[in-house]
Chains A and B, each alone.
Chain A
Amino acid sequence: MPPLLEVRELVKHYPLTRGVLFRKQIGAVKAVDGVSFALRPGETLGIVGESGCGKSTVAKMLVSLERPTAGRILYKGEDITRLSGRALKAVRRNIQMVFQDPYTSLNPRMTVGDIVGEPYEIHPEVAPKGDRRRKVQELLDVVGLNPEYINRYPHQFSGGQRQRIGIARGLALRPEVIVADEPVSALDVSVQAQVVNLMEKLQGEFGLAYVFIAHDLSIVRHISDRVGVMYLGRVVETGTDTEIYDHPTHPYTQALLSAVPVPDPEVREQRERILLTGDVPSPTSVPSGCRFRTRCWKARERCALEVPLLAVPAAFRDTHTPARHDSACHFAEERRVVPGDTRGQMG
């Protein structure tokens, strides 16, 4: 199947300037520095990484809220990064976003009906005027809200309900792609499950493709078909959920997975923990070669000189194991760090 959305060598640098009248560039924040991936129709691509890895900037570029410094975003083969005006507006119908914070992503001065109906005002060709109220009510029903609450204001709803309103707004134009940036991280545990289930249900109903961005590795595994791990503006490893979680080959992925607390006290003694030292370097001065080398226990001279490419490592190229997937490490090795389920097989 041809990809719906393809990202090639995407770069976003924010210039650092000095001076008021005569601005001089003294450096750049390399928020995203060469990211490539593809999204196929109806699938979920999870993107994980810690704060500052550039995952949110990628999300903003996908929905054209930020213009990339370099690179291309192909939607059905067409580069959308240089579009403007009517053409951009048309593309926006098909790529929508769900935001992290349900408290700041809804305009407090507008009713729920106006918020969910706004897409139709901006794109009047989608729904004739007389039809809009009914369409909005349908959408509220679809996301599990009472359609009668169309005249209420956002502050009358709880966090989980507000996130449903945000999802309804994202669905209004019937997009093919929804980019969700940490859609459940601001919600309580018991409400997170409701929203995750809703998103999965809607994916089936509307045939949506999701780019699901999160720092919670468990939720990403649950919802994603494929996963990309980001570190300091680059993707370091991609693969199916099994490939990444059960057969990681990049040391950063391994450290990240081993650090996630597992809700099972039985595994705490038998678990192997990789404790990384130090902090993530600043994106204004990224290390040469492999960006992870300053915190990597395997780093050697080569890592400082040569940027590792995101490809199947040579060691696995001729094998047929799940370790055969893209990993940007010169010394990729498989290492199992997620403990097996000791609670007995559920489901």
Chain B
Amino acid sequence: MLLEVRDLYVEFRTRDGVAKAVNGVSYSVDAGETLAVLGESGSGKSVTAQAVMGILDTPPGRVSGGEVLFRGRDLLALKEDARRTVRGAEMAMIFQDALSALNPVLTVGDQLGEMFVVHRGMSKKAARARAVELMDRVRIPAAAERVGQYPHQFSGGMRQRIMIAMAMALEPALIIADEPTTALDVTVQAQVMELLAELRRELGMGLILITHDLGVVADVADRIAVMYAGRIVETAPVHDIYKAPAHPYTRGLLDSIPRLDHKGRELYAIKGLPPNLTAIPPGCPFHPRCPRARDVCRTDLPPLYRVSQDRRSACHFWEETVDASSA
């Protein structure tokens, strides 16, 4: 197993109390696999990734429990400088907002080359040559001429390609992409996702794709983990989950998005709002919004029930949910 997150807890200190952002999340990614982590804002999907990368803002954040095993080694137990060598060289991250993730006063060539200078000890000249190669690889036209330009001189899609090039530079084993295409237009989004999938295949990397977009997930993921209020509520191979979700929240999400292929009728709307992380409801955190909620849901936190060999669902009534979905 390339990466294994075990029972991770993260909390944030806020003005209103302690916000429990991640509450016992476990997932794993194999080499060559794409895991999609799906969730709405506040579900803890990005915070989990930041904790894995070791780029969590501490304070106010704090990892309060769990393990992050990367090739069998617990990253959380490493010293900061040891983690820094893992970051970039062995795992890398792509962010939503490429413009703010790139340094505006350095040329893209300098920023790409820096990776080789710092981690590989290359000369500036050799590093620049590698930078051009990388830009070619992510299909930025006229790479040799554009290597000396600044981030703002590139379009949004091109900047996201530069971010991808930067993440790929040292051929890491794992890439975490946090909403990599959310800020892009659909036509550009398709190009970038295509590029990401292609590079992943070529290099045999593991990819964690963090997103709120059910369409993007269906397009590229092998497996999917759905998060709600800092917990994984369902995890399954992508085909199974779209065919018959085993958690009412997943079901609700799928039914609440309009379809491109037919007009459809009134949308299903999950009632209410996601919970406040400083006061997560007792029992199943989804129960106040759940159409299946019964007494047990208000008192007992559901464990991740085994649905089949590679499926889990944190719903007391997962059997009902699957049956109803496939009916």
In the complex where A221-B263, A255-B187 touch, is A263 in contact with B40 (Cβ < 8 A)?
A: no
Nearest to B211 among chain A residues (CB) is A261
Stretch at the interface among B7-15, B94-102, B215-223: B215-223
Docked complex Cα distance between A344 and B258 (Å): 15
**Interface residue B259 (Cβ < 8 Å from any Cβ of A):** yes
B218 touches A265 (CB 8 A): yes
Docked complex Cα distance between A337 and B218 (Å): 17
B259 touches A190 (CB 8 A): no
**Interface residue B239 (Cβ < 8 Å from any Cβ of A):** yes
Nearest to B38 among chain A residues (CB) is A189
A158 touches B157 (CB 8 A): no
Docked complex Cα distance between A347 and B188 (Å): 32
Give chain A interface residues in 151-191, CB to chain B under 8 Å.
Answer: 158, 160, 188-191
In the complex where A189-B40, A259-B189, A261-B216 touch, is A266 in contact with B261 (Cβ < 8 A)?
A: no
Docked complex Cα distance between A196 and B269 (Å): 9
Q: How far is the CB of A297 from chain B (nearest CB, A)?
A: 13
Docked complex Cα distance between A280 and B157 (Å): 11
A279 touches B155 (CB 8 A): yes
Give chain B interface residues in 240-264, CB to chain A under 8 Å.
Answer: 242-243, 252-254, 256-264
Docked complex Cα distance between A241 and B260 (Å): 10
Give chain B interface residues in 30-55, CB to chain A under 8 Å.
Answer: 40-41
**Interface residue A78 (Cβ < 8 Å from any Cβ of B):** no
**Interface residue A8 (Cβ < 8 Å from any Cβ of B):** no
Docked complex Cα distance between A212 and B115 (Å): 46
Q: Which of B187, B219, B220, B264 contacts A346 (CB 8 A)?
A: B264
Docked complex Cα distance between A241 and B262 (Å): 9
A263 touches B218 (CB 8 A): yes
Q: Which of B187, B239, B264 contacts A259 (CB 8 A)?
A: B187
Chain A residues with CB under 8 Å of B259's CB are: 218, 221-222, 262-263, 341
**Interface residue A296 (Cβ < 8 Å from any Cβ of B):** no
Chain B residues with CB under 8 Å of A197's CB are: 266-267, 269
A263 touches B215 (CB 8 A): yes
A188 touches B274 (CB 8 A): yes
In the complex where A191-B273, A341-B259 touch, is A222 in contact with B40 (Cβ < 8 A)?
A: no
A190 touches B256 (CB 8 A): yes
B242 touches A188 (CB 8 A): no
Q: Which of B186, B189, B261 contacts A338 (CB 8 A)?
A: B261
Stretch at the interface among A16-24, A268-276, A305-313, A315-323: A268-276
Interface size on A, residues (CB 8 A): 51
Nearest to B258 among chain A residues (CB) is A222
In the complex where A50-B187, A222-B264, A346-B264 touch, is A193 in contact with B257 (Cβ < 8 A)?
A: yes
**Interface residue B81 (Cβ < 8 Å from any Cβ of A):** no
Interface centre among A160, A245, A279 (most CB of B within 10 A): A279
**Interface residue B212 (Cβ < 8 Å from any Cβ of A):** yes
A341 touches B269 (CB 8 A): no
**Interface residue B319 (Cβ < 8 Å from any Cβ of A):** no
**Interface residue A339 (Cβ < 8 Å from any Cβ of B):** yes
What are the interface flags for A278-292 relative to B under an 8 Å C-beta threshold, 1 for contact and 0 otherwise? 111000000000000
B260 touches A215 (CB 8 A): no
A263 touches B242 (CB 8 A): yes
Chain A residues with CB under 8 Å of B270's CB are: 190, 193-194
Q: How far is the CB of B305 from chain A (nearest CB, A)?
A: 23
Docked complex Cα distance between A158 and B216 (Å): 26
In the complex where A222-B263, A255-B187, A279-B155 touch, is A263 in contact with B256 (Cβ < 8 A)?
A: no
**Interface residue B320 (Cβ < 8 Å from any Cβ of A):** no
**Interface residue A260 (Cβ < 8 Å from any Cβ of B):** yes
B273 touches A158 (CB 8 A): yes
A51 touches B185 (CB 8 A): yes
What are the interface flags for A186-217 relative to B under an 8 Å C-beta threshold, 1 for contact and 0 otherwise? 00111111101100100000000000000101
Docked complex Cα distance between A255 and B188 (Å): 11
Nearest to B276 among chain A residues (CB) is A158
Docked complex Cα distance between A261 and B196 (Å): 15
**Interface residue A256 (Cβ < 8 Å from any Cβ of B):** yes
B260 touches A257 (CB 8 A): yes
What are the interface flags for B82-120 relative to A under an 8 Å C-beta threshold, 1 for contact and 0 otherwise? 000000000000000000000000000000000000000
**Interface residue B64 (Cβ < 8 Å from any Cβ of A):** no
B41 touches A218 (CB 8 A): no
In the complex where A160-B273, A190-B269, A193-B268 touch, is A261 in contact with B219 (Cβ < 8 A)?
A: yes
**Interface residue A264 (Cβ < 8 Å from any Cβ of B):** yes
B218 touches A268 (CB 8 A): yes
A279 touches B40 (CB 8 A): no
A221 touches B258 (CB 8 A): yes
**Interface residue A340 (Cβ < 8 Å from any Cβ of B):** yes
B260 touches A262 (CB 8 A): yes
Docked complex Cα distance between A217 and B279 (Å): 36
Please list the residues of chain B having a beta carbon within 8 angstroms of any beta carbon in chain A.
Answer: 40-41, 141, 155, 157-158, 185-191, 193-194, 212-221, 238-239, 242-243, 252-254, 256-271, 273-274
Given contacts A158-B273, A197-B266, 6 further A-B contacts (CB under 8 A): A50-B188, A221-B263, A222-B264, A257-B260, A259-B186, A264-B242
Kindly list the 4 A-B residue pairs having the minimum CB-CB distance in the complex, ordered from nearest: A261-B215, A222-B258, A50-B185, A193-B256
Chosen A-B contacts, 18 in total, with CB atoms closer than 8 Å, are A50-B185, A50-B188, A189-B212, A192-B256, A196-B258, A197-B266, A245-B261, A255-B187, A260-B186, A261-B215, A263-B215, A265-B218, A266-B242, A267-B218, A273-B190, A275-B194, A338-B261, A341-B261
Please list the residues of chain A having a beta carbon within 8 angstroms of any beta carbon in chain B.
Answer: 50-51, 158, 160, 188-194, 196-197, 200, 215, 217-219, 221-223, 241-242, 245, 255-268, 273, 275-276, 278-280, 338-341, 343, 346-347
